[in-house]
Amino acid sequence: MISVFDLFSIGIGPSSSHTVGPMLAAHRLVNELSEQGKLARIKNLRVELYGSLGATGKGHGSGKAIILGLLGEHPQSIDINQVDTLLLEVERDQKLRLNSSHIIDFPKHGAILFEHKTTLEEHSNGLRFFIEFDDGECLEKTYFSVGGGYITEQGIVVETNQYQAVNPYSSAKQLLEICQEQGKSIAALVEENERCAHSQEQIDQYIASIWLTMQDSVKRGMTTEGILPGGLRLARRAPTLARQLRAGQSLSQDPLNVLDWVNLFALSVSEENAAGSRVVTAPTNGAAGVIPAVLQYYHQFVEPLSPETCKVFFLTATAIGSLYKLNASISGAEVGCQGEVGVACSMAAAGLAAIFGASPQQIENAAEIGMEHNLGLTCDPIGGLVQVPCIERNAMGAMKAINASRLALRGSGDHKVSLDKVIRTMWQTGCDMQSNYKETSRGGLAVNIIEC
């Protein structure tokens, strides 16, 4: 089973597949070579990025992430206030201290190459390290960043908390059957499974930490002014919107003004992500604003989230997210944005329905509605940046999640299209989608908007 520790991970923006994944691959490489006693023997090191990583890696900060990983930094623990300083030192000296110990030459031009015309067979997000040792020995290591910060090496998933569960399931149908047989909620069943790999204290503490990180990213985004990095020169919108709403500047007496706050929460986190700040991968960085916005909506306008309610949300969302990860994809480079914002919307709808007291059948319905109306969503970031249309798309995803939950809660749980069928359809749609619309910035808005 896929753990809540994997589907929700704390890292840095702007992309789980293009930033977090490459950083983890580089971090894993230097640690592995250090453990083997080979790190001090490295003479030269070069990195090549392929497919979507090669096409949009510059805008997504993939090169910078690889440098940080080679320095020995990890997405969860890096001091985001030191990122610029570390990168400037490498650029200035054109030298890199591998795993904070062994210094090698690392030229500005040639050490990292973006091969946008070449795609490796295994996955569209491939990166390969070419290493030369002082005795002439050479080593090649290839990794694939498959979405949500997951990386694989020769088909084997690494850096993961996957585990053997006491109540395994691989479909929504199986999940609902187990819930009915045992008389348990989806959250209770997932929590029981999680205890196969983690203590109750670890589970509770981790869920509390990801909710706290989400709240922090909302608060930072609401107060941090400025221009987002990259060629678009996009101004942050969240602080202005926050001031308007706090001053009571509503559009009218419209009872839906609460949705302006949902927009604010989503924009705040998404702008923090675009700036390379710390966010929760949920289940990807490109969709990092959806779930925090939905949770903050409940917390601020329904009732304050208790630790138990928060746990129900995240465990339910994990059950849904794991089904997409197992049976389809959460990678924009593989299936388009339906695999990122679409999956986040589905997870958020399910989690919200659960904390409103929905039955397992209603929760499955909420998740299905959330994805059904994101099917075919392309990933066409302008300039290869996780900004347009990504930031607003998170706000729209949060809105859809809230509405999907409400539709499901008003129903009995009976519906024509099952979640399993929607997941299968999403995967088929992604396979049929042209590569131009899968995080390559070669189609859609990316080629119809002039970059300024």
294-336 pLDDT, tens digit per residue, is 999 999 999 999 999 999 999 999 999 999 999 999 999 999 9
The pLDDT, as a whole number, for residue 252 is: 67
235 and 267 part of one domain: yes
133 and 266 part of one domain: no
CATH number, domain with residue 140: 3.30.1330.90
Residue 163 belongs to some domain of the structure: no
Peptide bond into 389 cis (omega under 30): yes
Dihedral angle computed from the Cα positions of residues 336, 25, 87 and 35, in that order, rounded to the nearest 10 degrees: 170
The pLDDT, as a whole number, for residue 451 is: 52
* Positions in the chain short of pLDDT 50: 452
The pLDDT, as a whole number, for residue 234 is: 96
The pLDDT, as a whole number, for residue 255 is: 83
Closest CA to 6 of 283, 342, 208: 283
Structure tokens at 123: 């996955």
How many domains, in total, are found in the chain?
2
Residue 166: HSE in the Cβ half-sphere, 13 Å Cα cutoff: 12
205 and 124 part of one domain: no
341 and 399 part of one domain: yes
User: Could you tell me the residue range of the domain that residue 262 belongs to?
Assistant: 172-437
105 and 187 part of one domain: no
- Residues 199-249 have pLDDT tens digits of 999 999 999 999 999 999 999 999 999 999 998 999 999 999 999 999 887
The pLDDT, as a whole number, for residue 218 is: 98
Distance from C-alpha of 207 to C-alpha of 202, rounded to nearest angstrom:
9
- Residues 381-399 have pLDDT tens digits of 999 999 999 999 999 999 9
The pLDDT, as a whole number, for residue 164 is: 86
Residue 329 belongs to some domain of the structure: yes
Distance from C-alpha of 208 to C-alpha of 220, rounded to nearest angstrom:
18
- The total number of residues shown for the chain amounts to 452
Residues 6+ apart with CB under 8 A from 335: 328, 329, 426, 427, 429, 430, 431, 433, 438
Q: Rounded to 5 degrees, what are φ and ψ at 225?
A: -90, 170
Closest CA to 143 of 161, 162, 125: 125
DSSP β-bridge partners for residue 129? 47, 141
Residue 164 belongs to some domain of the structure: no
18 and 143 part of one domain: yes
362 and 220 part of one domain: yes
Residue 323: HSE in the Cβ half-sphere, 13 Å Cα cutoff: 32
Distance from C-alpha of 46 to C-alpha of 153, rounded to nearest angstrom:
18
The pLDDT, as a whole number, for residue 421 is: 98
Q: Are 381 and 441 in contact (CB under 8 A)?
A: yes
Q: Are 164 and 179 in contact (CB under 8 A)?
A: no
